Amino acid sequence: MREITLPKPLQRMQPYLPWLLLALGVAAPVFLSAYDLNLLARFMAMGILACGLVLIWGHGGILSLGQGVFFGLGGYAIAMHMKLADLPDGELPDFMLWSGREVLPIWWEPFASVPFTIAAIILVPMLAGAIFAWAVFHRRVGGTYFALITQALALAFATLIISQQDVTGGFNGLTDFTSVFGFGLSSPGTANGLYWVTLAILCIAFLGLRWLLASRFGIMLRATRDGENRVRFLGYATTPFKTVAFAIAALLAGVAGALFTLHAGVISPALIGVVPSIEMVIWVAVGGRYSLAGAIVGALVVNLARDSVSSAIPELWLYLMGAMFILVVTLLPKGLAGLVKERKAGGVA
Amino acid sequence: MNSTTSQLLLAVDGVTVEYSGFKALDGFSMTLDRGETRVVIGPNGAGKSTLCDTIIGRVRPTSGRVLFKGEDISRLPEQSIVGRGICRKFQAPGVLPMLTVRENMGLAARRDRRWWMTFGIGIPAEDRAVIDETLDRVGLTHRADVPGGQLAHGEKQWLEIGMVLATGAQLLLLDEPTAGMGPAETARTAELILSLGTERTVLVIDHDMSFVEQLGAPVTVMHHGKFLKQGSLAEVRSDPQVAAVYLGHAA
C-alpha cells in the first residue's frame, strides 16, 4: 500500500497538530451543541477502549473479540452506583421492585460508596482481564482460539446479565440516572465537566500507552507477537507480557464503559455483547491497529458514521460496517493511519 | 581432554523421545566437556534436531535424563533451562523482524529478564558493552539500526548466532548455522565459531561437510535416533558403518 505524504503546509504544521487538536477538544463545549458534545464525549470514551486494543491487538498480536465484557464491567459498576445514589434510604432500585425483589443483593451494597465504585471501575475489569488472560496464555492458547474464547466470553456475559433480570435490569439494562457523585446529570455544567474528564482520561491513556509502547515492555510485546518461540528460548517467560497488556486493555475498556454510561445515561447487554465487541475491533481496524492516534480517529469516525447512517436508514448500518471492514482488511491493513506517512519506521504514535 | 566431573558440562543419558510409536531418539547418550566444540551429523530424520529440542526443553523425553552441570534439566520450563546457561539457534533464522538489529541483540543480552524490569526506556547501561562487543564479533555493527527482517539471509543467521552468544550461555546449540549460505559466508561462520575457542561449549548440527571440515571438531554420528559413532571427521569418514548409512548416500 502506497503511503500518501501530507501536503507541504500540513507537514509544516504537523508538530503543532496535537496542540491544535487538544485546544479544539478543550474548547468544544463552547462551539458544539449539547447534543453534539454528548456524542463526542461518548465517542471519546470509546477512543479510550480503542487505545487498549492497539496495545493488545496491534502490538501484542492478541485479537480480543470480547472487550465488551470489560466495557460492561465498568459501565455496570458506575450504573449500579448511580441507581443506589438516587435512592432514599432503604428503598430498592425501580427495576428490582418491578421484578418483585424485596431486598438489595448483598453485592450491590458496596456500590453505594463512591470510593468503592471508583476502585471497582478500575480494578474489577483489570483483575478479570488479568486472571482470564493468564489462565488462557499460561496454557499456551493463542491466535484464533483466543479470539474465539473471548467471543464466547462476550456471549456468556451478555446472556448472564439478561437472565438475571431482577438484579441486573435484564435486557433493558440500567438507566434513568439522575445524578453522579452529587452532580445533577441534567445540568449543562455536569455535562461539560464529564466531557472534560473524558478528554483528560483519553489524553492520559494516549500518553501513557505511547510511553509504554516505546518502553522495553513495548519491545518485548512486539517481539513476543512476532516470534514468541524465539523470545521464550532467549529465556523470557512470555505469558506475563501478554497478560499485563491484556489487563491494561481491560482496565481501559472498563474506564471507557463507565464514562460511556455517564454520557449515554444507559448501560445494557445490547451495548456489551458479541456485536458491540466486534464493532470495537472494527473501529481500530479502520483507524489503524498499530497507531494510538489512528485508533482514536477510527473510534470517532466509525461511530460518527454509525450515528448519521443509523438515524437516516437504520437497516443499512450493519451492511455498511461489514463492507467497511472488508475494505480496510483488504486494502488498508494499517488502517487510516497507514495512509499518513509515519515519521520513523515502526513508529509508535 | 580429561573427562573428570568438573570438566563435564552436558550429559544426555539414554534419552528416548517417542511420538506415537515412532522413536525420534532411541536411548541416545552423549557427553560434552566444558569448552568443547562438537559436531553432530546424521542422515535426515536421524534425530539431530530432536536432540536440540530435548536439551532446550521444547520436547520432553519419554525416558532418560539430560544433565547440565550435573543437574537434571529435562523437566524444567524452557526459560529456566535458558537461565541455567543453554541457548539455541533455530534452523530457520529466528530473529525478530520488526525490531532493529540492536534491539534484537538487546533482548538477548538483557541480564534481568523479569517482566516488571521492562518498564523503562532504552537499553540499560549494563547491557551495552555486551551488545556492542557481540555486534562487532558477528560483523553487524554497521547494520545495528536496520530492522531484523531487512537483513540478508546470511546476516540473519549471524545475528541469531550473536543473540545466542549475547545471552552469555555456556552451552550454545547451533542448529544448521550455515543453512542457505554460500561458501564465503560459510567460511566466515566457521571462523566465528572457531574464534570462540574454549570460551564456550558449542554443539553444532550441520549437513555441509566442508563446514564440518573447517571446524575441525570431533564428530558424533546419529542414525535412527541412536548413537552410531564418534571421532574425528577423518575417522568417521573411513568408518564402513557410517559410510553405509550416511556418507555413502551423501556423495
d(CA A309, CA A6): 29
Chain A residue whose CA is closest to B56: A233
Residue range A165-184: mean pLDDT, rounded: 91
Q: Which of A211, A229, A346 sits opposite B98 (nearest CB)?
A: A346
Give the pLDDT confidence score for residue A346 in this predicted structure: 45
Do the beta carbons of residue A216 and residue B121 sit within 8 Å? Answer: yes
Phi, psi of B218 (to 5 degrees): -60, 150
Q: Tell me how close the Cα of B121 comes to any Cα of chain A, in angstroms.
A: 4
Dihedral, A183, A187, A192, A198 alpha carbons, nearest 10: 50
Q: Between chains, do B119 and A229 touch, taking CB under 8 Å as contact?
A: no
Q: Which residues of B touch A223 (CB under 8 A)?
A: 96, 99, 107
Q: Tell me how close the Cα of B126 comes to any Cα of chain A, in angstroms.
A: 15
Q: Which of B58, B107, B115 sits opposite A234 (nearest CB)?
A: B107
Give the pLDDT confidence score for residue B2 in this predicted structure: 47
Q: Which of B77, B120, B167 sits opposite A215 (nearest CB)?
A: B120
Q: Which of B79, B87, B96 sits opposite A226 (nearest CB)?
A: B96
Give the pLDDT confidence score for residue A6 in this predicted structure: 67
Chain B residue whose CA is closest to A230: B94
| Structure-block grid coordinates of residue A16 | 503543532
Tell me the helix, strand and coil percentages in chain A, rounded to 5: 75, 5, 25
Res. A273 pLDDT band, cuts 50 70 90:
very high
Q: Tell me how close the Cα of A281 comes to any Cα of chain B, in angstroms.
A: 23
Q: Between chains, do B115 and A244 touch, taking CB under 8 Å as contact?
A: yes
Average model confidence (pLDDT) across chain A = 91
Residue range B13-39: mean pLDDT, rounded: 93
Under DSSP, the state recorded for B246 is: I
Chain A residue whose CA is closest to B105: A234
Q: Which of B87, B94, B118 sits opposite A216 (nearest CB)?
A: B118
| Residue B250, pLDDT above cutoff 70 | no
Strands A179-180 and A183-184: antiparallel
DSSP of A161-175: HHHTHHHH-GGG-EE
Q: What is the ipTM of this complex?
A: 0.88
Give the pLDDT confidence score for residue A17 in this predicted structure: 83
Average model confidence (pLDDT) across chain B = 90
Show me where the domains of chain B are located: 36-56+83-250
Domain B36-56+83-250 CATH (choose: 3.30.200.20, 3.90.1150.10, 3.40.190.10, 3.40.50.300): 3.40.50.300
The strand order across the sheet containing B71-72 reads B22-33, B8-19, B63-68, B71-72
Q: Between chains, do A219 and B58 touch, taking CB under 8 Å as contact?
A: no
d(CA B190, CA B45): 24
Q: Which residues of A touch B56 (CB under 8 A)?
A: 233
Give the pLDDT confidence score for residue A332 in this predicted structure: 87
pLDDT digits (tens, 9 = 90+) for A45-77: 999 999 999 999 999 999 999 999 999 999 999
Give the pLDDT confidence score for residue B66 in this predicted structure: 96
| Residue B251, pLDDT above cutoff 70 | no
Q: Which residues of A touch B88 (CB under 8 A)?
A: 233
Give the pLDDT confidence score for residue A347 in this predicted structure: 44
Phi, psi of A163 (to 5 degrees): -75, -25
Rounded to the nearest 10 degrees, the angle between the axes of helix A274-287 and helix A143-163 is 140
pLDDT digits (tens, 9 = 90+) for B190-216: 999 999 988 899 999 988 888 999 999
pLDDT digits (tens, 9 = 90+) for A195-206: 999 999 999 999
Res. A90 pLDDT band, cuts 50 70 90:
confident
Give the pLDDT confidence score for residue A219 in this predicted structure: 95
Strands B63-68 and B226-231: unpaired
d(CA B40, CA B48): 7
Res. A341 pLDDT band, cuts 50 70 90:
low
Q: Which residues of A touch B118 (CB under 8 A)?
A: 215-217, 219-220, 241
DSSP of A193-250: HHHHHHHHHHHHHHHHHHHHHHSHHHHHHHHHHHHHHHHHTTT---HHHHHHHHHHHH
Q: Between chains, do A223 and B99 touch, taking CB under 8 Å as contact?
A: yes
d(CA A247, CA B245): 55
Q: Where are the beta strands (DSSP E) in chain A?
A: 174-175, 179-180, 183-184, 266-267
Under DSSP, the state recorded for A58 is: I
Residue range B108-116: mean pLDDT, rounded: 90
Q: Which residues of B touch A345 (CB under 8 A)?
A: 147
pTM for the predicted model, two decimal places: 0.91
Q: Tell me how close the Cα of B122 comes to any Cα of chain A, in angstroms.
A: 7
User: What residues in chain A have their Cβ under 8 A from chain B's Cβ atoms?
Assistant: 211-212, 214-217, 219-220, 222-223, 226-227, 229-237, 240-241, 244, 345-346
* Cβ neighbours around A127 below 10 Å, total: 14
Q: Between chains, do B96 and A223 touch, taking CB under 8 Å as contact?
A: yes
Res. B44 pLDDT band, cuts 50 70 90:
confident
Give the pLDDT confidence score for residue B5 in this predicted structure: 53
Do the beta carbons of residue A38 and residue A191 sit within 8 Å? Answer: yes
Give the pLDDT confidence score for residue A3 in this predicted structure: 57
Res. A86 pLDDT band, cuts 50 70 90:
confident
Provide, rounded to the nearest whole percent, the portion of chain A with pLDDT above 90. Answer: 73
| Structure-block grid coordinates of residue A217 | 515492555
Q: Tell me how close the Cα of A234 comes to any Cα of chain B, in angstroms.
A: 6
| Residue B249, pLDDT above cutoff 60 | no
Q: Between chains, do B87 and A236 touch, taking CB under 8 Å as contact?
A: no
Q: Between chains, do A226 and B78 touch, taking CB under 8 Å as contact?
A: no
Residue range A329-344: mean pLDDT, rounded: 77
Instruction: Name the β-bridge partners of B89.
Output: B174
DSSP of B198-245: TSSEEEEE---HHHHHHHT--EEEEETTEEEEEE-HHHHHH-HHHIII
Amino acid at A244: V
Q: Which residues of B touch A212 (CB under 8 A)?
A: 119
